[in-house]
């Protein structure tokens, strides 16, 4: 249970922050950059939710909870995946895959790349997708030198796919997609 009685602690005034382990690291540390970008993804999904309702909103609310778990996972430098800390698990990745498949079943196959835009929800989902891809790049870079839960990376990869499909789905099930016209402005 989280209980915040004071928002500022002054602990970061010298450019450091704490990981889940209690270790202090620079705020520009690769691990901090990875979980900070997950937080940016979460904030962007919050913007999406200003324009959603029903099943889509419930799905995105659940994903926002998952992203806090993911941030805690990335903030844990331990390579012990059996510890009691929050860790992304395979079932969370599978759930994303099932949601992708369900939405994608309602969409016509693509005949071109999709440009970000359309409805406000769709445009913000594309923004969330690009931030998620950056989080994935940072997490995979981190994994080259430090311990990272492989399910966390799989989750980010699948989430960016889900955000793309959801953007099409919320763009009138793809009918409102703005398609790329290669070379149209030459």
- What pLDDT score was predicted for residue 115? 93
- 70: domain CATH number is 1.20.1200.10
Count of structural domains, the chain:
1
Per the domain annotation, does 163 fall within a domain? yes
Distance CA 38, CA 33 (A): 9
Per the domain annotation, does 6 fall within a domain? no
More confident: 21 or 92:
92
The SS3 assignment for 175 reads: coil
Q: Could you tell me if 145 and 84 are in contact, meaning their C-beta atoms sit under 8 angstroms apart? A: no
Q: What is the pLDDT of residues 132-157, one digit of tens each?
A: 999 999 999 999 999 999 999 999 99
84 confidence band (pLDDT: 50, 70, 90): low
- What is the residue range of 140's domain? 23-76+86-176
Per the domain annotation, does 8 fall within a domain? no
Per the domain annotation, does 123 fall within a domain? yes
Q: Could you tell me if 41 and 124 are in contact, meaning their C-beta atoms sit under 8 angstroms apart? A: no
Run of H or E residues at 179: strand 178-179
Give the other-Cβ count within 10 Å of 35's Cβ. Answer: 26
Per the domain annotation, does 100 fall within a domain? yes
Per the domain annotation, does 184 fall within a domain? no
Distance CA 134, CA 100 (A): 20
Q: What is the pLDDT of residues 20-73, one digit of tens each?
A: 877 888 789 899 999 999 999 999 999 999 999 888 999 999 999 999 999 999
Per the domain annotation, does 160 fall within a domain? yes
Tokens 């997708």 locate to: 129
Per the domain annotation, does 37 fall within a domain? yes
């Amino acid at each position: 249970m989280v209980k915040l009685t004071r928002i500022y602690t002054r602990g970061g005034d010298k450019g450091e922050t704490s990981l889940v382990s209690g270790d202090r690291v620079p705020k520009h540390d690769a691990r901090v950059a990875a979980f900070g970008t997950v937080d940016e993804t979460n904030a962007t999904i919050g913007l999406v939710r200003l324009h959603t309702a029903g099943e889509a909103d419930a799905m995105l609310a659940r994903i926002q909870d998952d992203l806090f778990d993911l941030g805690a996972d990335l903030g844990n430098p331990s390579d012990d995946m059996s510890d009691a800390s929050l860790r992304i698990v395979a079932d969370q990745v599978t759930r994303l895959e099932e949601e992708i498949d369900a939405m994608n079943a309602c969409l016509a196959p693509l005949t071109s790349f999709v440009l970000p835009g359309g409805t406000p929800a769709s445009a913000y989902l594309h923004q969330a997708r690009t931030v998620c891809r950056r989080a994935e790049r940072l997490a995979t870079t981190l994994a080259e030198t430090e311990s990272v839960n492989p399910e966390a990376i799989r989750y980010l990869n699948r989430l960016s796919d889900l955000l793309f499909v959801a953007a099409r789905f919320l763009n009138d099930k793809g009918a409102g997609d703005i398609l790329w016209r290669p070379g149209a402005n030459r």
